[in-house]
A and B are shown apart, each in its own frame.
Chain A
Amino acid sequence: MNATWSRFNITSVVLGFAFLYLPIVLLIVFSFNESKLVTVWGGFSTKWYVSLFHNQGLMDATWVTARVGVISATVATVLGTLAAITLTRYTRFRGRILFSGMVFAPLVMPEVITGLSLLLLFVAVGLDRGFLTVTLAHITFTMCFVAVVVQSRLVSFDRSLEEAAMDLGAPPVKTFFHITLPVILPAIISGWMLAFTLSLDDLVIASFTSGPGATTLPMKIYSQVRLGVTPEINAACTILIAVVAVGVIIASVANKRREVQRQRDEQAAQRG
């Protein structure tokens, strides 16, 4: 089909993108606002970015978020990968369908329920709410996302690679670390990044499970906004957007490059 720029097409594209990005553009624009009033443009300034770095509360929250994100994403990746391997490989144990359903249920579980139930658990076992509990909570809810990503890669994994390694004399553990892991590593990395991102922007579950001294950035932003939106928050959000955008762009460019290189190699190989 030939893409023609009819009036209708242009209108729908403009409307669609405006719908998606207008709020974000507005936020970025007002982060450079001279005026303290959020909705009144008072000239260009970067002073809110400067004052942001002097806001100890926001900086602390950022540090907490980063640590929670890295730790929970890493643990969730290990657990999620193990779950994915078990569920794709050991297809014959009793209740497999029930188990795989149970692993993926948190994907569709309302966050409020996950948060509340975790809170109840922590209270029941007498765990003081703080850094540990919010990290545990994030591991719990991001693990299943990792499992989904890794499992989709494992389904198309050629088992004969492992058989070949064993045939050549590598015991199962060595086979896993030398063959299986390197081959599925890209999926594991994607899983980690997804888990990290989810942890980074989670507000609901963190609100339930966090305690004093472990306020995450989304919680901090939310609580400040309730006292009134300041351009400082806009600046913080703009930085967050920039970090995420850069990450996504780097990942997709690298991916695309690898793809193109691979295709070129394959064509070269076919030519002889």
Chain B
Amino acid sequence: MKSLGSIRRDFAPWNDPNAKPYIQFDNVTKKFGDFIAVNNLSLTIFEREFFALLGASGCGKSTLLRMLAGFEEPTAGRILLDGQDLRGIPPYRRPVNMMFQSYALFPHMTVENNIAFGLKQEGMPKPDIEKRVAEMLKLVKLEQFAKRKPHQLSGGQRQRVALARSVAKRPKVLLLDEPLGALDKKLREETQFELMDLQQELGLTFVVVTHDQEEAMTMADRIAIMDKGEVMQVATPAEVYEAPTSRFVAHFVGNVNMFEGKVAERAANTTRITGATGAQIVVENGGNTAAGADIVFAIRPEKIKVSSKKPADAVNALEGEVYDVAYLGDMTVYHIRLDDGQMVRASAMNASRVSEDPLTWNDRAWVSFRPDAGVVLAR
């Protein structure tokens, strides 16, 4: 038998041109009055994928989820699930189930009746229901809480009941609306891994909505980053972080330094950039920008090295002064003000207990980075 990890490792249907999409948003638009919540959006999700919709509140991610569940109908466009057009199918006839942000546990029913509710609607025979409920309670480790009412449970237990209830019917797709939003930080981190294991175990397609980038990065196979009702980028967590395709995505996920400038020279492998303030930067991956174009060079703080002397072999090295230092234990964050006025954020892992090259406030410092450390984005 394959381990869960190896299944996950080999899973990449989005790179397979023959893979059949499972969920398909086809030019979907949703308007509420004059407000456009989702704007002509197209998106494909594959079977057994753990897919995250990431964005700030009001970006349309929840609307997308609610359209999939059937609580909202698209104003235009269509949604296909396993080849079937979902238009006009009410929520109670869709083969998808949703876990709500507020959990929406039925307060007048015990835990086991909550879990059994969906199965009863299906008309499943009683002994089968009992068996399935027991199975679900075991899955979420709540066997001894079967007879309790929701208000007799802690937040984490309620979350698990909600999860058990939403997977009890073995839906084709499980929709999760901010599933961990109401939990405290420590519990949230534990639960993220539990959710991933559960998804692999049940072999379901998960679509999760979240505003927490760390949560999305941890759990999802692929992330769709949304803004103002549109998808900005769909990619694996690593791609989103290392190869953002737009300024918005680079900004939204993680920390980033932006150098505004112009493409001064374009060669086969190297692109030379002149910063707005005069800095010269050489990069390997210039994207498809032409010479003379206005661009932004984006680079992550941990890709920048800070030193007191100019590194001898550095292609890109800029001089400045230490403006701020924040020691965080596992790493130290420096804010360096370059001589041309630009602020640069750099972070260094504290791999040894005592730094060999200690830098402190107002020290002269050099920031350096490799030609392939950042990305060039259109302005």
Contact = CB atoms under 8 A, between A and B. Distances in A.
A161 B121 CA distance: 15
B108 interface: yes
A171 B139 CA distance: 28
Given A160-B100, A183-B107, A269-B157, A167 B151 contact: no
B106 A163 contact: no
B122 interface: yes
Contacts of B71: 163
Report whether over half of chain A's contact residues are helix, strand or loop; otherwise say mixed: helix
A166 B92 contact: yes
Interface in A95-126: none
Interface in B104-120: 104, 106-108, 117-118
Interface in B167-210: 169
Interface string B227-265: 000000000000000000000000000000000000000
Interface residues of A, number: 24
Interface string B89-102: 01111101110111
Interface string B141-180: 0000000010111100100000001100100000000000
Contacts of B92: 166-171
Interface residues of B, number: 31
A266 B102 contact: no
Given A160-B100, A183-B107, A183-B108, A167 B69 contact: yes
A228 interface: no
A43 B300 CA distance: 97
A182 B108 contact: yes
Nearest to A175: B92
Interface of A: 158, 160-161, 163-171, 174, 178-179, 182-183, 262, 265-266, 268-270, 272
Given A164-B98, A167-B97, A170-B117, 19 more contacts: A160-B100, A160-B104, A161-B104, A163-B91, A163-B100, A163-B104, A164-B106, A166-B92, A167-B92, A167-B94, A168-B117, A168-B169, A171-B90, A171-B92, A174-B121, A182-B108, A265-B149, A266-B151, A269-B152
Q: Which 7 pairs between the two chains have the least Cβ-Cβ distance?
A: A168-B118, A169-B121, A164-B104, A160-B104, A265-B152, A166-B91, A182-B108
19 contacts: A160-B101, A160-B102, A161-B107, A163-B69, A163-B104, A167-B69, A167-B70, A167-B91, A167-B92, A168-B97, A169-B93, A169-B118, A169-B122, A171-B90, A171-B92, A182-B108, A183-B106, A262-B151, A270-B154
